[in-house]
Structure 1
Amino acid sequence: MNKKLTAAATAGLLVASGGFMSQAMAEQGFSYDYGQGGLLITDDGDDTDFGLDFRGSFAFTDDFFGYARLVPWMDESDFINLSIGPGYNFAVTPEMDLYGMVTLEHTDNGVDDQGFGITGGARYAVAPGMEAGGSLKFTTWDDGDNDPIDLTGYFLTEVAPQMDVVGEITFDDITDEADSDEFTWQMMVGARYNF
């Protein structure tokens, strides 16, 4: 459990390192209108799997947005994950947004299961054209076997007008004590286009 707490604390410190936030990005604000795609890698200590990661966000107003994510796994052709739902964002400072989402969840790995997720997160302007952030997501499934809490941290940097490169890491089910020495983790590398 100590290794899990150390990893969670380290990720939290990285996310909270907003001392280098830029006023330039703050004036522009954070985009909630974007499409994103990338390659996803996951490892549970025994197996490594690959998938595609497609996401989109659409701002209904300055404060409310819609979000969707689809992950088809390459190694298991019938295995997909889908999340979709509304979100709310607000500025804590000119350089920092907090947001929350409630999503419907669907997974199909030969047996369908549905549930819902609750996510809370933060977005920080780190430097001109750079952003870092993190989130916690609680998911509850209809089958009731596992209700995980996932910790995610990410970093993106602008490479062209409206285009960003994104890197993200997620530690799955950080409260799971079945194996205190290992996390199941996911890493995503992709690109985001801001509309």
Structure 2
Amino acid sequence: MALLDELHIRLRSLDDQEEGIRRERAAVLRAFVRAAGGVTEASGLLGMDPRTVVKLQRLDEIAMIVYRSGGTGTDPEGRVGERQREADSRWWRVARASRPKIRLLVVVDRGIVRRIWPVMDTPRWDENEAGKVALPLGERPLTSEEVAEHYPDLGIAIGDERPIRKGLLREHVPVDGAQAHRIVLAIPRSRI
């Protein structure tokens, strides 16, 4: 049994190393894409298919952005109460496949980013009878400094303007700043 335990520990260590390399590769590739001027240019320089470049620069971790038009629920010192935490977390339609990828909940109220919550990594989310879920939020929203430190490529900060678009209740964005929409530039005009 000692051998199995040792091998299990080594496997976990290798998994951690692979994850670290994958994250570093994604960050370097994102920087390469920016420096090259876009996905099309980077894929040409690397001799890779543009879809592969897009895939390799993404971490598949997302932030769910929700748009509100009511009050922010914070006191004058900026503290958020349990009632507001509960209101922010509930009830959202989220595909099962997306749930493990969501790392942040960004709350936009009247066009301004008010709160950014960490979403806990848990296998089970509370679900109501309509199939909507309560996101497993952390105990408190992240501070501006925590967002900048842990999610430097998010491109969203507390206090940012983010105008509400008619009919849009929520959207998902990558936490790593990868830009998938640029892939459209790689399609030859003759095929459009």
TM tier, smaller: under 0.3
Query: Which structure's residues are more often strand, by fraction?
Result: 1
Higher relative CO (Cα under 8 Å, sequence separation at least 6) belongs to 2
Structure with a larger share of its residues in helix? 2
TM-score, normalization: structure 1?
A: 0.26
